[in-house]
């Protein structure tokens, strides 16, 4: 199933966001990148809310947020009504985030997971249905 996926990050997640954005696009999904577009410092909640609102309004099917740990983005996204965001650092949590918790937003920590693991987690999360 092809989806429209919103993606956003802060400066700590910028490099990983670029990798994951391309990975998701190469899987055939449409990606809406809300930023950031360089490593200049930003207020991460601004980007978490942008992605969460796109998902909550139905403009995007799901979202991916990336910061240093994934935690800050997750907390901020979960403040948007109707949103379920989950921090995932291993394949089991990525699977359960979708299948048990119906999480629409995947949060990753760029200082916690490497690019290859992040791709694996993203792939699992995209393929899982509830």
Q: If phi over 0 gives left and psi between -120 and 50 gives alpha, with beta otherwise, what is residue 6? A: beta
Catalytic residue among 67, 74, 88, 107: 67
Catalytic residue check, 88: no
Q: Yes or no: say if 6 and 63 are a contact pair by the CB < 8 Å rule.
A: yes
CA distances (Å), origin 129, targets 14, 27, 87, 100, 117: 28, 16, 17, 9, 20
Token duo for residue 22: 């391309």
Secondary structure letter of residue 29 according to DSSP: -
CA gap 31, 20 in Å, rounded: 10
In sequence order, the β-bridge partners of residue 6 are 32, 63
Positions annotated as catalytic residues are 67
């Amino acid at each position: 199933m092809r989806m429209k996926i919103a993606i956003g990050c802060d400066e700590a997640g910028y490099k990983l966001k670029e990798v994951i954005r391309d990975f998701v696009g190469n899987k055939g999904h449409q990606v809406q990148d809300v930023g950031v577009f360089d490593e200049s410092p930003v207020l991460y909640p601004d980007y978490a809310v942008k992605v969460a609102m796109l998902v909550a309004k139905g403009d995007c099917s799901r979202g991916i947020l990336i910061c240093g740990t994934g935690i800050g983005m997750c907390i901020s996204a979960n403040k948007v009504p109707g949103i379920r965001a989950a921090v995932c650092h291993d394949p089991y949590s990525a699977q359960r985030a979708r299948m048990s918790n119906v999480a629409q937003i995947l949060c990753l920590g760029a200082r916690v997971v490497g690019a290859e693991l992040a791709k694996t987690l993203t792939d699992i999360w995209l393929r899982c249905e509830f």
